[in-house]
Structure 1
Amino acid sequence: MRTPARWPPPPINPNRGHAPWSPKTSASCWPPRPAPMPPRRPSTAWMRRSTATSASARSGTWPACEPRLRALGVRRRHWGQSQRPAFGWDSLTDTERAVASLIIRGMTNRQIAQRMFLSPHTVSTHLRRMFGKLNIASRTELARIVAEMCPELIKGG
């Protein structure tokens, strides 16, 4: 199906000698520029950097610039940072240990997920994180480490 002809035809640009939609026209004519972006919220990175090393940040108190931060939409987290090591058995969270105890009993990710009321993908994520923290690559190695480090998980029901 042919597109209908435009009538009247678009005006010819007398300065260029060709139609305004032609690629030979200047950038100011075509294509039209997109609408400007809406203004962004002011950055609060400078406040985070400036308070990160301050005594108030080290002591755990909220910085003195709280009203300004709240006006900018920044909210304070209500949970603390874990003092857990990055690698090794002690680095595992309680949930990761619970998943490990079910793995050594021979359960699949789907069975663990049903038992713990989680998604199988969440169980898989816990496994990947455990493998990285313990520098292992299989469930068998995980079972060996659990048997060495925490034998009460094997005996528990």
Structure 2
Amino acid sequence: MNDDLHALEAWAGTLLAQIQPGQRRVVTRRIAQDLRRSQAQRIASQQAPDGTPYAARKQRKNLRGKKGRIKRQKAAMFEKIRTLKNLKIEQDENQLSVGFFGRVARIARVHQEGLTDKVAKKGPAYRYPARPLLGFSATDQALIRDALLRHLGNL
């Protein structure tokens, strides 16, 4: 996949170099927004960039059982982390990045790489399984290619 990303970067880089800086900012902004939407949808569907499902959550011991619907419904992982507030875009005329910045970045990194972290502030440490939140899939690469070609077709 790394070779595919370098090939995409070389292909897109030569096309973007031919566009004026103002137009380049417009097209990279659109691509970044599409990538952010794609990453958020993939996180919501609980899948890694290669299409494999995330490792299931560890079952919590219920000391006091809740009654009713709340106990029966299964909560999705990473509900808040995939919102626009946390999944941000940074760009300039030469590059764009979609990712987590600030305090949320630490939590995302722990899950992305499968590191050890404390469950609560004074709680026990737990080694989280690797659940890749961000990454390029084949559909993301096609999304970038199509957005760039669509913009060049409009010029």
Q: What's the TM-score once normalised by structure 1's chain length?
A: 0.22
Larger strand share, 1 or 2: 2
Q: What's the TM-score once normalised by structure 2's chain length?
A: 0.22
